[in-house]
């Protein structure tokens, strides 16, 4: 049995990757100094589907969030006591 080639997949393969301008900012409070910009206007090619790389995207987002949180004294003050409590339980 012969299968017919899928026209949609062929058309998708011929398309150029979509370019996206990405900015990632985290706001840890209401003051202007409480905003941390981790990525500012970076051009990123979107290749394939989101589902192919969703785990890597989530991992990268969490790393950025933790990095941004550790750079803010207010957030670090909240995290350090919590870390001490976790250590005491062990």
pLDDT in tens, the chain (90 residues): 556 656 666 655 666 777 888 888 888 888 888 888 888 998 888 777 777 777 888 888 888 888 888 887 777 777 677 666 666 665
What six digits make up the tokens of 20? Answer: 């996206």
Q: Could you give the 3-state DSSP secondary structure of residue 47?
A: coil
Judge if pTM exceeds 0.85: no
Residue with tokens 């058309």: 11
Phi-psi region of 41 (alpha: psi -120 to 50; beta: other; left: phi over 0): left
Q: Which residues contact 50 (CB under 8 A, 6 or more apart)?
A: 57
Alpha helices by DSSP H, 1-90: 7-14, 54-71, 73-89
């Amino acid at each position: 049995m012969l299968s017919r080639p899928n026209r949609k997949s062929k058309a998708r393969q011929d398309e150029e990757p979509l370019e996206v301008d990405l900015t990632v900012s985290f706001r840890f409070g209401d003051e202007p100094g409480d905003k941390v910009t981790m990525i500012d206007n970076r051009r990123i090619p979107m290749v394939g589907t989101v589902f192919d790389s969703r785990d890597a995207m989530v991992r990268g987002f969490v790393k950025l969030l933790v990095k941004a949180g550790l750079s803010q004294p207010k957030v670090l003050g909240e995290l350090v006591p919590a870390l001490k409590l976790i250590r005491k339980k062990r």
